Amino acid sequence: MLNLNLNWLRTFEAVARLSGFTAASQELGLTQTAVSLQIKALETKLGNDLFIRRAKSIQLTEIGKAVHLDSLENNEVIVSNIRHTEALSLA
């Protein structure tokens, strides 16, 4: 099983959702360099590029799309579990 840094995943989600390193760095309160280094660390750990980098834009690779979709689905499960736990504690 892969042991992934949660900050890497949070940064990846922001970059993918906002379609850019600069926008993600502003949202996360990080430098653009920090965002880039976190994405590179995640790509190294996974052994695959997650983004196609162009001069003024980025695009998710097919693997990046799959990872992003998985992260969105996992977020929905986490939110659902939190709501379920909150409902149980109120009962």
pLDDT recorded at residue 85 = 75
pTM beyond cutoff 0.85: no
Beta strands in the chain (DSSP E): 51-53, 58-60
Q: Which amino acid is at 8?
A: W
Q: Could you give phi then psi for residue 55, rounded to 5 degrees?
A: -55, -45
User: Tens of pLDDT along 4-29?
Assistant: 788 998 999 999 999 999 999 999 99
Q: Could you read off the pLDDT of 34-84 as tens digits, one per residue?
A: 999 999 999 999 999 999 999 889 999 999 998 887 776 666 666 566 676
